Amino acid sequence: MSPFVNIHTHHYIDNKDLIQIVNIDIDNLNVDVSYFHSVGIHPWESLRSTDYSLQTLSTLSQILSFSNSQFLKAIGECGIDRACDIDIEIQKSIFIKQIEIAERHQKPLIIHCVRAYPDIISIRKETKATMPWILHGFQGNEQTAMQLLRHDGVYISLGDVLFKNEDRARRLLDIIPCERLFFETDVAERNIAEVYEKASLLSGTEIETLRNDIFNNFVKIFGDI
């Protein structure tokens, strides 16, 4: 049976039967970390200063050049958040710089997006990005999901919505193709198995099928484990 995949979490779990990408704050990153992780500049961090952002972007490029960077599976979480007070143009600028780094180093992006899905779609087109983008913690509606899925290489990850808005989650599970789907725990303390169980209940799909499908998606993007 395929392992569970937790595509985005902030809590590392020592479990050999679990595949997880742990988001690590770049300021606290030990380059010798030996488990799958992601690193990037969150849109909320854009406010700290332009100098901080430029220095962090330089650090990120350096980390990706290290010999053990195979454990750094994705850039992120990064993106755009229109619910915060940070100037949107600053957010876009830092996001685009991270897209350029991701393209240069052939790394997928894990994207934080709040009220900014049209911006994400527009930037995908403008930058002609080819690396996979995973929209984590998706909270949008079915129409937004369909607009995103029209673009090759865009994936949608579900987590909290499965527990907080079952009706919307059920509709999303109905329209998101299995080959474009991921699950996550993000900052929640729940086990990823609970997320799969909930998705199975809402979709009527066997957990084993979900595990196989999501694992295949992981391998497609990140390669063999």
Contact 48, 27 (CB under 8 A): no
Question: Tens digits of per-residue pLDDT, 12-61?
Answer: 999 988 999 999 988 877 767 889 999 999 998 876 666 777 788 888 88
Gap between the Cα atoms of 197 and 67, Å rounded? 38
Question: Tens digits of per-residue pLDDT, 146-162?
Answer: 999 999 999 999 999 99
Gap between the Cα atoms of 161 and 57, Å rounded? 31
Token pair 């330089």: residue: 58
On average, the pLDDT of the chain sits at 93
Q: How much is the pLDDT for 164?
A: 97
First-to-last C-alpha distance (Å) of the chain: 14
Q: Assign 41 to helix, strand or coil.
A: coil
With cut-offs at 50, 70 and 90, classify the pLDDT of residue 68.
Answer: low
Question: Tens digits of per-residue pLDDT, 164-207?
Answer: 999 999 999 999 999 999 999 999 999 999 999 999 999 999 99
Q: How much is the pLDDT for 49?
A: 61
Gap between the Cα atoms of 80 and 208, Å rounded? 34
Contact 64, 102 (CB under 8 A): no
**Whether the predicted pLDDT of 119 surpasses 90:** yes
**Whether the predicted pLDDT of 67 surpasses 60:** no
Q: How much is the pLDDT for 48?
A: 63
Q: Which two tokens stand for residue 118?
A: 């049209």
Gap between the Cα atoms of 182 and 179, Å rounded? 9
